[in-house]
């Protein structure tokens, strides 16, 4: 399996790339790590991935499709990382959508989107909040993905932490909302494990997997989706 990880130096992706490359999540796969700056290429190689220079914010659909040629799966972990609303929409919505269209154009059927637990129409983020553009951008990108013919999975982790991996999660029900002040966190290391696992678990295709830290082993929790 050849997997292209877009945004390979994000905090989740830096855990995902070596996890895939060294077979820690199962049989080793060929991992291509896409980054937007040439000075980042060596860091991808250090993680065990094949570096790919691809500025998805400015690349056309055709350019992204060319970069994805020969891949079996795409994992989107890129993001604007805050800043201006304009750039948030440009990366988290527009570039993400182009990458989905590019995957379809290149014949890459499997697509995994790393989103967030609140990417729902009634996300409740006030319009005057600095987080509003991100919530809206992710929702729009996720909705576009749902409308494609790709074998998609959307991951909706709760509040991300840098804690050690637990290997266990709790999957939220379709209409379940996290209670304010309740348990909502999940380590990025577990998000990486979930992203790696869904590539091999067909029950996750067509699912929006919203999750926090929990008690069920990750593979079992994902297989229980069917």
Q: Domain locations in the chain?
A: 2-223
pLDDT for position 70: 97
Confidence of residue 181 (pLDDT cuts 50, 70, 90): very low
Which three-class secondary structure state does DSSP give residue 78? coil
Question: Exposed, middle or buried, 210 (CB in 10 Å: 0-12/13-18/19+)?
Answer: buried
Check if the beta carbon of residue 72 is closer than 8 Å to that of residue 31.
Answer: no
Q: Tokens 């060319």 map to which residue?
A: 66
Name the pTM for this structure.
0.94
d(CA 144, CA 140) in angstroms, rounded, equals 6
CA distances from 33 to 61, 66, 167, 176 (A): 18, 15, 24, 34
Find the largest Cα–Cα distance for the chain. 46
Q: Does domain 2-223 have CATH number 3.30.710.10?
A: no
Confidence check: pLDDT of 172 > 50: yes
pLDDT for position 146: 98
DSSP state of 94: I
pLDDT in tens, 159-171: 999 999 999 999 9
pLDDT for position 179: 58
φ/ψ (deg, to 5) at 93: -110, -65
Q: What average pLDDT does the segment 116-131 reach?
A: 89
Q: In what order do the strands lie in the sheet with 168-171?
A: 50-53, 30-35, 2-6, 73-76, 110-114, 151-157, 207-213, 168-171, 216-217
pLDDT in tens, 55-111: 999 999 999 999 999 999 999 999 998 779 999 999 999 999 999 999 999 999 999
Catalytic-role residue among 89, 111, 116, 134 = 134
Q: Which residues lie closer than 8 Å to 52 by C-beta, 6 or more apart?
A: 4, 32, 33, 34, 35, 44, 67
Q: Both tokens of residue 71? A: 């891949």
Q: Does 89 qualify as catalytic in the annotation?
A: no
């Amino acid at each position: 399996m050849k997997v292209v990880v877009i945004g390979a130096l994000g905090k989740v992706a830096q855990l995902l790339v070596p996890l895939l490359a060294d077979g820690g999540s199962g049989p080793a796969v060929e991992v291509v790590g896409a980054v937007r700056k040439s000075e980042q290429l060596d860091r991808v190689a250090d993680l065990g991935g094949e570096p790919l220079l691809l500025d998805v914010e400015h690349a056309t659909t055709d350019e992204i499709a060319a970069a994805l040629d020969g891949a079996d799966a795409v994992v989107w972990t890129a993001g604007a990382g805050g800043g201006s609303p304009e750039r948030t929409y440009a990366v988290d919505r527009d570039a993400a959508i182009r990458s989905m269209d590019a995957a379809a154009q290149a014949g890459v059927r499997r697509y995994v989107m790393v989103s967030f637990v609140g990417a729902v129409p009634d996300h409740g983020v006030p319009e005057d909040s600095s987080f509003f553009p991100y919530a809206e951008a992710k929702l729009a990108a996720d909705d576009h993905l749902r409308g494609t013919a790709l074998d998609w999975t959307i991951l909706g982790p709760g509040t991300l932490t840098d804690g050690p991996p637990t290997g266990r999660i709790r999957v939220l029900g379709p209409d379940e909302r996290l209670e304010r002040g309740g348990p909502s966190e999940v380590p990025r290391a577990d998000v990486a494990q979930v992203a790696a696992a869904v590539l091999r678990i067909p029950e996750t295709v067509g699912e929006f997997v919203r999750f926090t830290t929990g008690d069920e082993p990750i593979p079992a929790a994902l297989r229980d989706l069917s």
